[in-house]
Amino acid sequence: MGKYDYDLITIGAGSGGVRASRLAGKYGAKVAVIEESRYGGTCVMRGCVPKKLLVMGAHFAQHFEDAVGFGWTVQGASHDWGAMIAAKNKELDRLDGIYQRLLRDSHVTTVDGRGVVADPHTVEVNGQRMTAEKILVAVGGWPMIPDFPGKEHVITSNEALDLPQRPKRVVIIGGGYIAVEFAGIFNALGSEVTLIIRSGQVLRGFDQDVRSTLAEELEKTGIKIRRDCRIRSVEKHGAEYSVMFDLGDECMADCVLVATGRTPNTASLGLKEAGVKLNAKGAVTVDAQNRSSVESIFAVGDVTDRINLTPVAINEGRMFAETFFNKNPMTMDYTNIASAVFSQPPVSVVGLSEEEARKSHKVRLFISRFRPMKHTLSGREERTMMKLVVDKATDKVLGCHMVGEDAPEIIQGLAVALKCGATKAQFDATVGIHPTAAEEFVTMRDPVPDKEPEA
């Protein structure tokens, strides 16, 4: 027996923790993973996976409507929320089992319980102490609910994925990823949805054209957006709630969903006491090799609050394992990471927004707005928006943005092009696939007139 019980103890069996542990195990390290909830973490159990299944389920409503324009008669279609939730839960049970099996197959010991760091090499779980040469903190984040009277009456995305019934009237506080995604799910299934955003527009941080296009499309589908509006309080009246706003008015709802961001799960984890530096949001501060201020303690994923996306956590976990358990030092490249918002219609982007690009480049912009072919017959008033942000000096494409059906599937391919440093001339030299929406990205010839004065 070496100096420690394990080479690596990972706290948290989410995307980042599982990938790091499995790889370390595969490379011969003695590894234990501690998990207090279900295996798979936020993405698999409370985020991306169940959310996307509900998005898919909700989207059938549009398919049924659109089918009429193509000659279909769709009679008696109705939706059973409970059946969808049960089917989704069955799939999550399957995934939980798969994650546990993958860990076992990599010879990783799994420990059910809450792990707390006791010192730089010790973790306490279920009253037992376990020691390791390295500790990896991969505990993710948790929904943050701002303080207001009646906050105990609201739900977060965690509960929204498991509601016993679909609420008829939903008020959603926030205008970020989670807010617009759930707005789409409930609205498509027939709920009355009101988004309450404290600023002037949804999706802060995204390109202005993406933000305004998505808001327009959401409003076309019937989602109400109240801008520059803050919640004052929530009161429960029997089975319904009244939501009071800062301007003194109120609205009634059957469910109030708060989606105002997430905070790293570091409370009472023993990190501060062990000397680990946390930032103002409570995230573990790490270097490029995912090492915290304590030599033997590392962190990956949302708990570090860098780019909070599953594939990023997976890559950070992989790089940690390669570096420390396979003598193959790797660091993560955080540029040009594509992302998607599974709103209806979805959004997907890679690279810089126009606003970000303008900070350091002179840009040429290419924008295309069109009615997708399907809707020429379906009659749906949905429009697609595509935008390219190009560096005037080098012709390099700095950003690709899309709001419209299949946007995430399309942008994934363009992310490879941006990783390779593709220029607009190379986009132009690429022959499109006809008839698709995607071909528009290689056929946009004329830049939009530049609003910015020449320096």
Closer to ligand NDP at the Cβ: 50 or 167? Answer: 50
Q: Per the structure block, which two tokens stand in for 312?
A: 């990023």
* Contact pick of 24, 179, 269, 349 for ligand NDP (by CB under 6 A): 179
Contact indicator for 38, 336 with CB cutoff of 8 Å:
no
Contact indicator for 56, 9 with CB cutoff of 8 Å:
no
304 contributes a contact to ligand NDP by CB under 6 A: no
Whether 434 is catalytic is: yes
* Contact pick of 45, 178, 183, 397 for ligand NDP (by CB under 6 A): 178
441 contributes a contact to ligand NDP by CB under 6 A: no
CB of 190 to ligand NDP, least distance (A): 23
Q: Per the structure block, which two tokens stand in for 317?
A: 């976990």
* Contact pick of 69, 150, 190, 261 for ligand NDP (by CB under 6 A): 261
**Cα separation of 269 and 193, whole Å?**
37
* Contact pick of 339, 348, 353, 384 for ligand NDP (by CB under 6 A): 339
CB of 24 to ligand NDP, least distance (A): 26
Task: Choose the binding region for ligand NDP from 241-249, 258-266, 278-286, 446-454 (rule: CB under 6 A).
Answer: 258-266
311 contributes a contact to ligand NDP by CB under 6 A: no
260 contributes a contact to ligand NDP by CB under 6 A: yes
Q: Per the structure block, which two tokens stand in for 125?
A: 């779980």
Contact indicator for 19, 317 with CB cutoff of 8 Å:
yes
| Stretch 395-434: interaction string toward ligand NDP, x if CB under 6 A | ----------------------------------------
53 contributes a contact to ligand NDP by CB under 6 A: no
Task: Choose the binding region for ligand NDP from 70-78, 167-175, 292-300, 355-363 (rule: CB under 6 A).
Answer: 167-175
**Cα separation of 242 and 390, whole Å?**
48
Residue type, 247: L
Contact indicator for 342, 181 with CB cutoff of 8 Å:
yes
Query: Of 44, 50, 39, whose CA–CA distance to 10 is shortest?
Result: 39
**Cα separation of 154 and 166, whole Å?**
15
- What does the chain come to in residues? 455
| Number of other CB atoms surrounding residue 434 within 10 Å | 8
Q: Phi and psi at residue 194, in whole multiples of 5°? A: -120, 125
Closer to ligand NDP at the Cβ: 230 or 358? Answer: 230
CB of 142 to ligand NDP, least distance (A): 10
What residues line the site for ligand NDP (CB under 6 A)?
A: 146, 173-179, 181, 197-199, 204, 259-262, 308-309, 339-342
